């Protein structure tokens, strides 16, 4: 190809859309373009270091791994150069002309749907390079790949419709980005302004940064330093830079261990949860290093999937540099490191929750689903995670929460089960007839009100040796409770139960006198192997042909006036008694959230009213 050949390309439609957003609406904070470009330069040199450990054949292998930024106030340009891996012609087209990141697509969609997003979230979604167009009306990317057959090229664009690629004779390995600043933003060609920006955003980048020939940053791997030598500001700055985060970290774990494996880890827990804000599934955020060399920025097999919200760095000198991304997932060593770290992280949550329950509670509100996902998917952490769950109970005030450990600490002597009830809200759960007997006996009941709770509790099964028992289900053994008021005799009760069974037929599996009721005449229990209303609804949502007749166990309250009257009426006015029996069942089903078709109920109700009015 001759020197004069110019290849013209148009941007992919999505890139144009993205550029439009980046330039016109996204950032109020234009200055972060520098951080984004420094970050790319640093990523590229980290990749080179890794390639160096396996490849002999690297173009200009001896070039120093440094970032050089130069300003020219007269020409109104800023230039940032690195000696990283550079790009081939194909890579230029692919990396700077199309959107590869699924995260970026999600980001765009979310922007469109919601019309806004926190401005500084952009770095998270891999649109970093395009931020150059916030400050520049022309960007040139000169580059030479590390591959020996690479070309010396320059990519040029005004950030509007497309770009051109032509040759750039003499370009060294790496990337040199020249930005011609927009008229009104010439301030970014002032050295003092840039110096301040580098110090603010990029001070601990792992490579030396020079500004107009003068060294600016201190190179340090923060995770290898002593805790006592690191300030809160440094931690925060590291989190935001290295983890491409835009919020404040809510918790932090910085530790090192020598045996059985050498590990230095610096882990952060964010304070905002993008998944909850409608973004796609977060990608693993803990990078794996070996002696300061980045092995993998988002290793899949290191931590369990549910821990994807934590971010940071794990460095282990025991990991061989030439481990490939493919074999890493199966590596016993990586698994072992992951297991040590995930245990430490869970332990950290436990300690933090104890130290500052209010803070933990606020955090939990946003991140609880990860813990619940962990219980359902990560068998080895299930029990440890159970300690992190929080919920309201019949003994907590509305709005206050506690954990299983608090519950177990309060149980009465001899109570072998942990009782819970699933429902849509505290109010709904509290007004249900299931609660009565437990309240009367002073037994604490946990209220699970998140849609996924039922599934999670089923996975859990028990806590601290105590079985988790749904009080909606039959088969819960309660001790006798001396209830107030006259009761039907045993004989009368049996006769009434038989009558009800006869009248209600297949709709009930059994009718018995129960110990559960205090104020209600009758209650419908889901058989111990039956489906709760929540699961039933879920099944229906998933399968429109789902049919499964509701069958319940009925318990009657032999002290309730209505039940006593029914016992009389079955002999004196059987016709009315039959109607009442059917209606009582429907009432119980309504209270249980299990009535599926109310047409007969309404007709019968009307007939009963008519009778009552004579």
Nearby residues of 69 by Cβ (< 8 Å), 6 or more positions away: 34, 38, 78, 79, 80, 81, 194, 198, 209, 210, 211, 212
| C-alpha to C-alpha distance for 560 and 574, rounded to whole angstroms | 19
Cα dihedral across residues 585, 587, 588, 594: positive or negative: positive
Please report how close the Cβ of residue 127 comes to ligand ATP at its closest, in angstroms: 5
Nearby residues of 359 by Cβ (< 8 Å), 6 or more positions away: 250, 352
- Considering only 38, 48, 77, 82, the residue that binds ligand ATP (CB under 6 A) is 82
| C-alpha to C-alpha distance for 241 and 266, rounded to whole angstroms | 13
- Considering only 18, 32, 44, 288, the residue that binds ligand ATP (CB under 6 A) is 44
- Considering only 84, 374, 474, 593, the residue that binds ligand ATP (CB under 6 A) is 84
Cα dihedral across residues 439, 445, 447, 448: positive or negative: negative
β-pair partners for 10:
162
Site string for ligand ATP, 238-277 (x = CB under 6 A): ------x---------------------------------
Please report how close the Cβ of residue 29 comes to ligand ATP at its closest, in angstroms: 16
β-pair partners for 215:
210
Q: Does 87 bind ligand ATP (CB under 6 A)?
A: yes
Please report how close the Cβ of residue 134 comes to ligand ATP at its closest, in angstroms: 13
Please report how close the Cβ of residue 197 comes to ligand ATP at its closest, in angstroms: 17
| C-alpha to C-alpha distance for 211 and 80, rounded to whole angstroms | 9
Q: Does 129 bind ligand ATP (CB under 6 A)?
A: yes
Please report how close the Cβ of residue 128 comes to ligand ATP at its closest, in angstroms: 3
Q: Does 159 bind ligand ATP (CB under 6 A)?
A: no
Closest alpha carbon to 317 in 404, 223, 247: 223
Please report how close the Cβ of residue 244 comes to ligand ATP at its closest, in angstroms: 6
Residues of each annotated binding site for ATP: 36, 40, 82, 87, 95, 102-103, 124-129, 325
Residues of each annotated binding site: 36, 40, 82, 87, 95, 102-103, 124-129, 325
The SS3 call for residue 583 is helix
Chain residues 331-360 in contact with ligand ATP, contact rule CB under 6 A: none
50, two tokens: 């890794």
Closest alpha carbon to 48 in 275, 255, 215, 207: 207
| C-alpha to C-alpha distance for 309 and 177, rounded to whole angstroms | 33
Q: Does 474 bind ligand ATP (CB under 6 A)?
A: no
Q: Does 95 bind ligand ATP (CB under 6 A)?
A: yes
Any idea which residue has 């039907």 for tokens?
A: 488
> By CB neighbour count within 10 A (0-12 exposed, 13-18 middle, 19+ buried), where does 292 fall?
middle
DSSP string, 423-456: -SSHHHHHTSTTHHHHHHTT--EEEE-STTHHHH
Which CB sits closer to ligand ATP, 84 or 533?
A: 84
Which CB sits closer to ligand ATP, 106 or 478?
A: 106
- Considering only 21, 26, 32, 40, the residue that binds ligand ATP (CB under 6 A) is 40
Closest alpha carbon to 255 in 282, 279, 284, 230: 230
Q: What angle do CA 153, 157, 159 make, to 5 degrees?
A: 145
Which CB sits closer to ligand ATP, 298 or 498?
A: 298
- Scanning 82-90, 336-344, 440-448, 479-487 for contacts with ligand ATP by CB under 6 A, the matching segment is 82-90
Site string for ligand ATP, 96-125 (x = CB under 6 A): x--------------------------x--
| C-alpha to C-alpha distance for 160 and 425, rounded to whole angstroms | 51
Which CB sits closer to ligand ATP, 85 or 205?
A: 85
Which CB sits closer to ligand ATP, 84 or 299?
A: 84
Site string for ligand ATP, 172-201 (x = CB under 6 A): ---x--------------------------
Q: Does 85 bind ligand ATP (CB under 6 A)?
A: yes
Which CB sits closer to ligand ATP, 40 or 240?
A: 40
Terminal CA-CA length for the chain? 103
158, two tokens: 């005004």
Q: Does 22 bind ligand ATP (CB under 6 A)?
A: no
Rg of the chain on CA atoms, in Å: 33
- Scanning 83-91, 347-355, 405-413, 516-524 for contacts with ligand ATP by CB under 6 A, the matching segment is 83-91
Q: Judged by CB under 6 A, how many residues of this single chain contact ligand ATP?
A: 18
Any idea which residue has 């942990």 for tokens?
A: 418
- Considering only 20, 51, 89, 126, the residue that binds ligand ATP (CB under 6 A) is 126
Q: Does 127 bind ligand ATP (CB under 6 A)?
A: yes
Helix 574-592, helix 599-612: angle, nearest 10? 130
Q: Which stretches of the chain bind ligand ATP, using CB under 6 A?
A: 40-41, 44, 82, 84-87, 95-96, 123, 126-130, 175, 244
């Amino acid at each position: 190809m001759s020197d004069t050949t110019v290849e013209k390309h148009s941007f992919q439609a999505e890139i144009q859309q993205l550029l439009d957003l980046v330039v016109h609406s996204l950032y109020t904070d234009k200055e972060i373009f520098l951080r984004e470009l420094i970050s790319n330069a640093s990523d590229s040199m980290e990749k080179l270091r890794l390639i160096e450990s396996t490849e002999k054949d690297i173009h200009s292998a001896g070039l120093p791994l440094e970032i050089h930024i130069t300003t020219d106030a007269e020409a109104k340009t800023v230039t940032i150069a690195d000696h990283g891996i550079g790009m081939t012609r194909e890579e230029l087209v692919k990396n700077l002309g199309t959107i590869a990141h699924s995260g970026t697509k999600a980001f765009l969609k979310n922007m469109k749907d919601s019309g806004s997003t926190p401005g500084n979230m952009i770095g998270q979604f891999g649109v970093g390079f395009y931020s150059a167009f916030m400050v520049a009306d022309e960007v040139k990317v000169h580059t030479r790949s590390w591959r020996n057959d690479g070309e010396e090229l320059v990519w040029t664009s005004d950030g509007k419709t497309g770009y051109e690629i032509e040759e750039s004779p003499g370009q060294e390995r790496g990337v040199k980005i020249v930005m011609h600043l927009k008229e009104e933003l010439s301030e970014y060609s002032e050295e003092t302004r840039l110096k301040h920006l580098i110090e603010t955003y990029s001070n601990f980048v792992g490579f030396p940064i020079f500004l107009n020939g003068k060294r600016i940053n201190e190179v340090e791997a923060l995770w290898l330093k002593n805790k006592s030598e690191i300030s809160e500001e440094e931690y925060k700055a590291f989190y935001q830079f290295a983890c491409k985060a835009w919020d404040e970290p809510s918790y932090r774990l910085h530790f090192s261990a020598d045996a059985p494996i050498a590990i230095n880890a610096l882990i952060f827990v964010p304070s905002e949860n993008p998944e909850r804000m409608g973004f796609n599934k977060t990608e693993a955020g803990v990078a794996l290093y070996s002696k300061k060399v980045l092995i993998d920025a988002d290793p899949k097999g290191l931590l369990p999937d549910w821990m994807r919200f934590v971010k940071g760095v794990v460095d282990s000198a025991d990991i061989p540099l030439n481990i490939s991304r493919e074999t890493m997932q199966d590596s016993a060593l990586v698994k072992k490191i992951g297991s040590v770290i995930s245990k430490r992280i869970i332990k950290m949550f436990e300690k933090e929750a104890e130290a500052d329950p209010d803070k933990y509670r606020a955090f939990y509100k946003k991140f609880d689903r990860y813990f619940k996902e962990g219980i359902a998917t990560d068998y080895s952490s299930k029990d440890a995670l159970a300690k992190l769950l929080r919920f309201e109970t019949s003994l907590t005030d509305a709005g206050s929460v506690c954990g299983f450990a608090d519950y177990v600490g309060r149980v009465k002597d001899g109570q072998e089960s942990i009782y819970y009830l699933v429902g849509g809200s505290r109010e709904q759960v509290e007004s249900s007839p299931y609660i009565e007997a437990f309240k009367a006996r002073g037994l604490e009941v946990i209220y699970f009100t998140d849609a996924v709770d039922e599934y999670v509790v089923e996975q859990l099964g028990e806590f601290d040796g105590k079985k988790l028992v749904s009080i909606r289900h039959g088969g819960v053994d309660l001790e006798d409770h001396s209830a107030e008021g006259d009761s039907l005799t045993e004989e009368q009760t049996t006769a009434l139960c038989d009558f009800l069974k006869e009248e209600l037929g297949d709709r009930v599996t059994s009718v018995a006198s129960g110990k559960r009721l205090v104020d209600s005449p009758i209650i419908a229990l889901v058989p111990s192997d039956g489906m709760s209303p929540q699961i039933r609804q879920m099944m229906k949502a998933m399968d429109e042909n789902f049919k499964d007749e509701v069958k319940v166990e009925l318990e009657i309250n032999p002290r309730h006036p209505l039940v006593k009257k029914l016992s009389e009426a079955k002999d004196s006015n059987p016709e009315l008694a039959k109607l009442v029996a059917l209606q009582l069942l429907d009432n119980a089903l309504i209270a249980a959230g299990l009535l599926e078709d109310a047409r007969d109920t309404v007709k019968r109700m009307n007939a009963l009213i008519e009778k009552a009015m004579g």
